[in-house]
Chains A and B, each alone.
Chain A
Amino acid sequence: DTGVSQDPRHKITKRGQNVTFRCDPISEHNRLYWYRQTLGQGPEFLTYFQNEAQLEKSRLLSDRFSAERPKGSFSTLEIQRTEQGDSAMYLCASSLTPYEQYFGPGTRLTVT
């Protein structure tokens, strides 16, 4: 399968714990995006990388969130001191051009 992959697919954690998600983009794609979808809402933009540079960050990305893309390949999204409001589907997408973003299946986070 040469699509965008995300790991894990599901994560249950207790409030206050740190979690890290991984995204592997389509291999030739230099652009990578993170989105978050909460119940009843559409996906909301979190951050954007071009190669290893983080070029856009949403105000939704509080200081408890950090994203990295070392060497311009895979990306990680870490949430520190998780809160119940962080429960959501975290989606990763990649693209070669600005026109079309290819999404992974998402990581569903449940904070108890």
Chain B
Amino acid sequence: ILNVEQSPQSLHVQEGDSTNFTCSFPSSNFYALHWYRWETAKSPEALFVMTLNGDEKKKGRISATLNTKEGYSYLYIKGSQPEDSATYLCALSGAGSYQLTFGKGTKLSVIP
């Protein structure tokens, strides 16, 4: 059973601030790590899928890194905007299974 931990649970930042969240997971039985953004009343949106130790991905102001040896991933948001307000979910897929195991998420609120 994979155990995915996310911190912090919630975060309030001022518009323009940069921020980051953490996803921790057991380093064994790792296949891929996924980041999703979930805005209220919308579908969870895939941000990144990472598989290799040292992977770094970037989409606009959002980037993510992956360390499979120590079992963590960071998600960074540069210059937060109100539209970044959402719950950010981290999920793991293990070898031999297609199911995703999610953390509880980090709820980000960006204050204008």
Q: Verify that A and B bind, or say they do not.
A: yes
17 interchain pairs (CB within 8 A)?
Answer: A4-B43, A33-B98, A42-B4, A42-B102, A42-B103, A43-B44, A48-B98, A56-B98, A95-B98, A98-B98, A99-B51, A101-B34, A101-B46, A104-B43, A105-B41, A105-B43, A106-B43
Q: Total contacts A to B, CB within 8 angstroms?
A: 59
Q: Could you list which residues of chain A lie within 8 angstroms of chain B, going by C-beta atoms?
A: 3-4, 31, 33, 35, 40-45, 48, 55-56, 58, 91, 95, 98-106
- 8 Å CB contact of B89 from A31, A42, A55, A98: A42
In the complex, how many residues of chain B place their beta carbon closer than 8 angstroms to a beta carbon of chain A?
A: 25
B59 within 8 A of A: no
Query: How far in angstroms is the closest Cβ of chain A from B83?
Result: 18
Q: Are B44 and A103 in contact (CB under 8 A)?
A: yes
The complex places the Cα of A7 from the Cα of B88 at a distance, in Å, of 24
The complex places the Cα of A3 from the Cα of B90 at a distance, in Å, of 21
- Beyond A33-B98, A48-B99, A99-B32, whether A43 also contacts B43 by CB under 8 A is no
